[in-house]
Amino acid sequence: MEISPETHEQLINTLAKARRVFVFTGAGASKESGLPTFRDIDGEWSKHDPMTFATFEGFLANPVKVWNLYRLRQRQIAEAKPNSGHITIARMESFYPEFLLCTQNVDDLHERAGSRKMVKLHGDAWQMRCLETGDVFDTRELDLPEEFTEETLPRCPECGSLCRPNIVWFGEYVPREAMMASIASSSSCDLMLVVGTSGEVSGGYGFAEYALANRATIVEVNPSQGALTRYATFWIPEPAGTALPRIWELVTARSQN
């Protein structure tokens, strides 16, 4: 239900009393920091063909073109700053006895805000993976050009093989450890917080269904309704950077009384 004055008190009580919390974030959480989303009308996939830039086949056909788009994305991430939504989620981590943040975002804004108990479902835009060995490297630790050519494509520091962005593309599986940790947390939580995601990718991976099976309360913070709104006990139709700090201040104040 959408928040009304009558349900606001119930929401604050629910957040204050929760003990096992699972947070699921998407591109909307970083949009407030100025990072373009992928699926919005004006998102990246409206400008760039996902079959070219977000499939392994597209990468093999033109690795220079694909790498240069991800290099641009890295520059956008570097210029962005965590917003108050990221910061509030990081603060929640130490408040709840059991906590896991699962993000679909490939940027590092959650980490820069202070989040540590977290997993990334779709990879990390700062990482590259060797096509030969599967070893993963942080591109920030390497001397890479701002724009790639055939001769300067990222290559494995160990074996010299071509590397790809360490991103989960269409048709690929998410990392097993991240998925299993998310399933375990969503299945045992008493509160699930959905932030800035439509839940359209793989149906939100079933996390909301796992949470409901454990009789958890689901709170969604998103300006627009999405695929997971129907599961939410509370829907807050605002950006996370606006809603979360305001709500969290009330929750922490109540816990101190």
With tokens 């373009």, the residue in question is 36
With tokens 């950006």, the residue in question is 239
Distance of CA 176 to the CA centre of its chain: 16
Catalytic residue of the set 8, 86, 110, 122: 122
> 206: left (phi > 0), else alpha (psi -120 to 50), else beta?
left
Handedness of CA 94, 26, 191, 211 (dihedral sign): negative
Burial class (CB in 10 A: 0-12, 13-18, 19+), 78: exposed
- 5 Cβ neighbours under 8 A, 6+ residues apart: none
Nearest by Cα to 128 from 56, 67, 84, 202: 67
122 is catalytic: yes
93 contacts 117 by C-beta, under 8 angstroms: yes
CA distance linking residue 162 with residue 113, whole number of Å: 32
Nearest by Cα to 110 from 84, 132, 136, 135: 84
Q: Please tell me what DSSP assigns to residue 38.
A: S
Active site residues: 122
